[in-house]
Structure 1
Amino acid sequence: MALGLVILANPAAAQKDGEIQAMKQEIRTLQQQLNAMQRRVAARPEPARKGGSVAKGAEGAVVAAPPSLGGVTFPNGRPTLTSADGNFSLGIYGRVQSDVGTYFDEVGRDFNDGWNFRRARLGAVGSIWKDFTYSLIYDFGGSPDGAGSLYEASLGYTGVKRFNFRIGAYKPFFSLEDSISSADLLFHERASIVEIARSVAAGTARMSAGGSVADEGYFVSAYLTGPTVGVEANDEQVGGVARVAFQPFRGPNYLVHVGASGAAAFAPTQNAGGVIGISRRQIQLRDRPEIRIDSTRLIDTGLLSYRDAYTVGFELAGHVNNFSLQGEYYAININQDRAPGLSSPNLTFDGYYVQGSWIITGESRRYNTNSAAYAAPRVANPVHAGGWGAWELVGRYSYANLNDKDVPGRSVTTTGSVRGGEQTTYTVGLNWYPNQNVRFMLNYVNGNVDRVNAAGTAQIGQSFQALALRSQFSF
């Protein structure tokens, strides 16, 4: 107003009424914008208190301020939503492995040819306040597929450098081959002795609490374990799993890995309706012949009444450029607990495998320090970039022995011995990685099982050959 009076008092300014009106309009517009900004500020919650992000709710209670959305990224092809401050993340986990194959030159039973969804997993993984991790994964595949079961549900803590603690249902680290992700295996299946040994107190969907410490050069893990998900009993199993590994020699293009694993079931599952020394506490060791088109198990100890069981093994591996080699040996001890008056010897089973890889296109298999295990190569020339992807030749010899204390011509019922069978398997394969998330695996398997029936009177072994193709995508 004072400015207006001064201007009106000046005759020269009277000629500029149009300019004055324009200035007044700009002032009114600025005032309206200022009022709008003041209303928005007044509507905001109170600023965060020092030491935490908090705000007052409708009734004055202090509540956590909700995180704001950031963006969607695709680390290793996995769709992942992360909050703007990086404290929260939600990733979609997926893995599908579809197998098709045929058996031929069977001596014994006739195996089933056909298709099988070996794995069809879908779930969520992520972090909470950065230091906590979670996973919830369901598997619709299997051996055979169709049933579906919980694969993993766990909560982890990674707030201490190099340390990872987890509790829930998951796969604790056990052996070199079992610590390799199923998406990165050289062959369709792990070696039989690894599958059998991990069943004592480790394996997938195992109730576990424990953790690992890892750094360049070493790895240590230990877990207290219980039953697998879905096993119901009067008193559930209590066991333990431990693994150590070292890399005494390593460089840009080579690495040597040495390790050992052990597992024990020192408080077996007890069934209230069972008979002491017969069916109160039982264990069964068995496996399919390193292929899952047919779900028949050729080596099998049958149900054994026992007090406790343990397994221990050693692992050795390494790579130079695009060549890699690994092998493991495991022994399993079962302390039987048969009815009074029956022979009850301690039982020992064992096995081993040796396998190798040559990546024709020159890539190297990656070594994951956090799991002390190998992972698939990083594809240098993926198909979508005009390349041929990565090509890999693999081979394996595998042996598992589930016979012990055998007395020729006598029944295992009287001797307490076991005739689970000896299995020898040769496998060669060709793997193609078009990109980092898609993979095709062609396996030829030649298997032979030498096994006598429980009475010791007849050969019930089996020999076969098989050819199978796996199509896989994972993220």
Structure 2
Amino acid sequence: MKASNTQLALAVAAALASTSAFAQSDTEQLQQQLDALQKEVDSLKTSSGFNLEFGGRVQLDYNYFDGAYNADNDGAGGSDFFPRRIRTYVESEHGNWDHKLLLEFSEGTAEIVLARVRYAFDNGLKVKAGKIREDMSLNALTSSKHINTIERSTLANTFSPFFRWGISAYQYFKDSGLRYAVGVYKNDAFGASGHDEDDKLTLAVTGRLTWSSAAPGDVIHLGAWHSYRDMGDNDLSARFARGEVRETNVRLVDYAVGGETAALNSMSQSGLEFAYQANAFTLEAEYASRYLDTVDSSNELDGERFDGFHVSASYFLGGEQRRYKAGSALFVQPKGIKDAWELVARVSQMNASSKQQGTDVTTYTLGTSYYLSSDIKFMGNLIYSDVDGAGASTLVGDEDSGMGISARMQYLF
């Protein structure tokens, strides 16, 4: 029997009403689930057992250089504009555990700078593992976002391997002001591959001991460190450092120029640190040396010792003060700094010459930084270097000195 139009309309209406009811029920259920999920996320964010943070930095640099820095072009003026660092990080905390992952990006590539997992014991001892910074040199340990010159000192760039895969432990004793750090790392720095001829892992053992008397605006810091590095019969890299100007055509600190590189069984490095702060004024000084143990005991470089130092002074015109972090034994920029000027001067020297080869480089830097805020900083440096040593003429010819001008815009997020 054919249904009437009225019956058909009633059937369609009933079906639509049923579908609408079911749809409304599903929507309400989904909304309840979303509300519950949002409450869970909010609970995690506010929980003392969980904390997640993202951030990073962008550093854009301009460099001009001439003389020895551009000796390959007869000392003519050269220049470049480039991203010095583009980094982003994520870190989290969960009870006594924390982690941090720091990535650096350049055109077409990305690199893991730091990948750390750390555990903090109740007695203050902290143990960390992963790709971590070796604990040596006050200037090298200061983060690039907190340094008061555009480039670190030649000493820091010569002696520090910066981040390497390994494990370390450190502890600060507030009552005495003492702090120690000791670590074991894969030695794939300074020309070492991380393995010897038999593909056995080569290691570095590094320790640092510091003492500090620290109060806001009144700091004395003393430190000493030592690093023994198994080089696995690899050649020590010829070029130690650039001379505190980035992207130049010539790296001024070179122990092999005029001669040849040396294959090493091992290498030992040691350093001393001193810092003094009185309100807006901060003074830092370091000395370090490197001892070579060559594979061939008849090599003229066997037992050779290269050393260097730097002294720097900085001053905030508005009376701001750098913060000293006793638990890490280093300085960072003033908290909440805004509309502030900082002046800095530094002299550094690295002796990388022997009887027949190598260079000695002395570098002078004058600089200023303007802190628009704690996240935005503008920097300018004037750099002058003298080059000497048995291999200097081979490296730079008649260009025995060079001038550099560096500028940076830094943005933290």
Verify same fold: TM over 0.5.
yes
Q: Secondary structure at the match of 1:108?
A: helix
Q: 2:375 aligns with which of 437, 441, 446?
A: 437
For 1:217-236, what aligned pairs fall within 5 Å after superposition?
217-228=177-188, 231=193, 233=195, 234-236=199-201
Q: 1:70 aligns with which of 33, 38, 42?
A: 42
With over 3 angstroms needed to count, the CA separation of the structure-2 counterparts of 1:458 and 1:140, relative to structure 1, is: closer
Aligned to 1:373: 330
Does the 8 Å CA contact 2:130/2:167 hold for their aligned counterparts? yes
With over 3 angstroms needed to count, the CA separation of the structure-2 counterparts of 1:331 and 1:461, relative to structure 1, is: farther
Segments of 5+ residues of structure 2 without an aligned counterpart are 1-28, 34-38
Does the 8 Å CA contact 1:138/1:148 hold for their aligned counterparts? yes
Q: Are 2:338 and 1:426 equivalent residues in the alignment?
A: no
1:47-78 deviation line (CA, Å, top 9, x unaligned): xxxxxxxxxxxxxxxxxxxx93237xxxxxxx
Larger RCO (CA within 8 A; separation ≥ 6): 2
CA distance in 2, matches of 1:231, 1:342: 22
CA shift for structure 1 position 292: 0.8
1:80-125 deviation line (CA, Å, top 9, x unaligned): xx53422222211312111012124557334641112111111311
CA distance in 2, matches of 1:125, 1:178: 22
CA shift for structure 1 position 191: 0.9
Q: 1:179 aligns with which of 123, 131, 141?
A: 141
1:237-269 deviation line (CA, Å, top 9, x unaligned): 20111111111x44443111111111110x323
Read off the aligned partner of 2:151 and give its amino acid letter.
Answer: E
CA shift for structure 1 position 378: 2.5
Read off the aligned partner of 1:435 and give its amino acid letter.
Answer: S
CA shift for structure 1 position 379: 4.0
Q: Are 2:139 and 1:207 equivalent residues in the alignment?
A: no
CA shift for structure 1 position 300: 1.6
Segments of 5+ residues of structure 1 without an aligned counterpart are 1-39, 45-66, 72-81, 270-279, 383-388, 407-411, 413-418
Deviates most, 229-238 or 177-186: 229-238
Number of residue pairs aligned between Structure 1 and Structure 2: 364
Q: 1:170 aligns with which of 132, 142, 160?
A: 132
Does the 8 Å CA contact 2:159/2:269 hold for their aligned counterparts? yes
CA distance in 2, matches of 1:259, 1:421: 28
CA shift for structure 1 position 221: 0.6
Q: Are 2:353 and 1:403 equivalent residues in the alignment?
A: yes
Aligned to 1:244: 209
CA shift for structure 1 position 211: 1.6
For 1:305-384, what aligned pairs fall within 5 Å after superposition?
305-338=263-296, 343=300, 345-380=302-337, 382=338
For 1:83-232, what aligned pairs fall within 5 Å after superposition?
83-104=45-66, 108-110=71-73, 112-127=78-93, 129-141=94-106, 147-199=109-161, 203-204=162-163, 206-216=164-174, 217-228=177-188, 231=193
User: TM-score if structure 1 supplies the norm length?
Assistant: 0.70
Q: Secondary structure at the match of 2:139?
A: helix
Determine which structure has more spread, i.e. the larger CA radius of gyration.
1
Read off the aligned partner of 1:115 and give its amino acid letter.
Answer: F
Aligned to 1:9: none
CA distance in 2, matches of 1:228, 1:471: 32
Aligned to 1:467: 405
CA shift for structure 1 position 156: 0.8
CA distance in 2, matches of 1:162, 1:461: 53
With over 3 angstroms needed to count, the CA separation of the structure-2 counterparts of 1:228 and 1:362, relative to structure 1, is: same
CA distance in 2, matches of 1:83, 1:323: 39
Aligned to 1:275: none
CA shift for structure 1 position 282: 2.1
1:307-349 deviation line (CA, Å, top 9, x unaligned): 11111111110111101101000011011112x7655631100
RMSD: 3.0
CA distance in 2, matches of 1:321, 1:112: 39
CA shift for structure 1 position 391: 0.6
CA distance in 2, matches of 1:295, 1:90: 42
Does the 8 Å CA contact 1:331/1:351 hold for their aligned counterparts? yes
Does the 8 Å CA contact 1:451/1:460 hold for their aligned counterparts? no
Q: Are 2:387 and 1:449 equivalent residues in the alignment?
A: yes
With over 3 angstroms needed to count, the CA separation of the structure-2 counterparts of 1:460 and 1:345, relative to structure 1, is: farther
Read off the aligned partner of 2:277 and give its amino acid letter.
Answer: H
Does the 8 Å CA contact 2:208/2:224 hold for their aligned counterparts? yes
CA distance in 1, matches of 2:411, 2:61: 12
Q: Secondary structure at the match of 2:72?
A: coil
CA shift for structure 1 position 132: 1.1
Q: Secondary structure at the match of 1:69?
A: helix
With over 3 angstroms needed to count, the CA separation of the structure-2 counterparts of 1:459 and 1:474, relative to structure 1, is: same
CA distance in 2, matches of 1:344, 1:366: 42
With over 3 angstroms needed to count, the CA separation of the structure-2 counterparts of 1:364 and 1:335, relative to structure 1, is: same
With over 3 angstroms needed to count, the CA separation of the structure-2 counterparts of 1:460 and 1:159, relative to structure 1, is: farther
